[in-house]
Amino acid sequence: MGSIVTVPNSFSFSPREPSDFPDWTFQNVDLEYDAGSRSAWMYYKADGPPFFSLQTLVDMASVRESLRGLLRSSYRDVFPVRYFVMASRKPGVFNLGGDLAMFAKSIRDQERDQLRAYAHACIDVVHGLATAFGLPIVTLSVITGQALGGGLEAALAEDFVLVDETARVGVPEVAFNTFPGMGAVSLLSRRLGDARAEQIIGSGKVYSGRQMVEMGLADILAPEGLSASTALHWMMEGGAERYTRRLAIAQARRRFFPVSYEELIKITDLWVNCSFDVTPHDIRHMERLAAAQRRLVAR
C-alpha cells in the first residue's frame, strides 16, 4: 500500500508572498491566474496523489492563507481575484477522498489520536472552502471524472459546482460501515434537505454529472472535455454586474445557511469514533480500496 504518513498533532502551513503571485509553487497542487475572468485556479496535480494526503491538505491550507495575504495587500489591485476555482489535472479523477491506507492502519493500530488529527486537518480545509476563505470572492468546483467521499465533500463546500459528462460522484463510506465525516452531512443537507441527504449517504450510490444537475447537487453541466472553457465562459458572462450578483447570493447562503467549524468538528469526531467500531472485514475492504487509490498515483 505504500508508505504511511504520520499526522502531526499540529496542522501547519506556509503562506506564499503576495509579491510572488501568481508564481506560487506547491508540492501537490498547481495555482494559476486567469486575468480575463479574474480567477485563481487551484488544480490537483496530475502526478500527485489522487486522494487527500496530508501534504495535499497542507498545500490547500497554504493556498488559502496565501490568497488571504494577497487580497489584503497592495497586490490585490495588480491581480484582482473575483473567483476561486478548484479543479484537477488527473485524467479521470477529481479527487478520491481520504487517505484510506492511513485510515486502515490507524484503526488496526488503535491510533485514535492519529486519525482524529488527520480528520481535524480535513475540517480546517473544508471549513475554509465553505466560508470562501473569509474573502469577498465566489468559489467554484469543476468536477471531471471521479469525486468520491472527501473529494465530493470538498467540492460541495464551494459556492457553485460545475460537472462535466464524465463526472462520477458519491459518498461510498457505507461500504465499510462508516459515513462521510468531513462535511457531507452538513453540506448535502443544506443543498438538498435532510431526507435526500440521508438517502445519498445511506445508499453509497455513485451519480453521473447529469444526475447531479438534475437533483440540484450541481449548478452547471459541461460537455466532456469542455469543463475549463465552460467555467471561464460562466465566470466572464455578464462581467462585473453578474459577479456582484453571484457574490451577494453566495454571501447570503453563507450567512443564512452557515456551516460552522464547531459543527464540522463535532461530526468528524463522531466519524472517528464510528471508524473504530468497524469489523476486520470492513478494514480489509478499506485496504483493498486504498490499494486501488495508490495504483492511480503512478498513472
In the prediction, which pLDDT does 4 show? 41
Helix/strand/coil for 104: helix
Domain ranges of the chain: 18-227+250-298
Q: How confident is the model at residue 267, as a pLDDT?
A: 98
What is the structure's pLDDT at 269? 97
Tens of pLDDT along the chain (299 residues)?
333 444 445 567 789 999 999 999 999 999 999 999 999 999 999 999 999 999 999 999 999 999 999 999 999 999 999 999 999 999 999 999 999 999 999 999 999 999 999 999 999 999 999 999 999 999 999 999 999 999 999 999 999 999 999 999 999 999 999 999 999 999 999 999 999 999 999 999 999 999 999 999 999 999 999 999 999 999 999 999 999 999 999 999 999 999 999 999 999 999 999 999 999 999 999 999 888 887 776 55
- Please, what's the b/e burial string for 61-96 (b: 16 or more CB within 10 A of its CB; e: otherwise)? bbbbbbbbbbbeeebbeebebbbbbbbbebeebbbb
pLDDT digits (tens, 9 = 90+) for 43-79: 999 999 999 999 999 999 999 999 999 999 999 999 9
How large is the greatest C-alpha to C-alpha distance in the chain, in angstroms? 56
Does 22 sit behind a cis peptide bond, omega within 30 degrees of 0 on the bond before it? yes
Q: What is the pLDDT of residue 3?
A: 35
Among 135, 147, 176, smallest CA distance to 39 is for 135
CATH code of 18-227+250-298, in short, is 3.90.226.10
User: pLDDT tens, 188-203?
Assistant: 999 999 999 999 999 9
CA torsion 65-68-72-77 (nearest 10°) is 120
Residue 33 DSSP code: E
Contact call for residues 68 and 18 (beta carbons, < 8 A): no
DSSP conformation letters of 183-225: THHHHHHHHH-HHHHHHHHHH---EEHHHHHHHTS-SEEE-TT
d(CA 225, CA 80): 28
Work out whether the CA dihedral 246, 209, 231, 264 comes out positive or negative: positive
Residues 6+ apart with CB under 8 A from 199: none
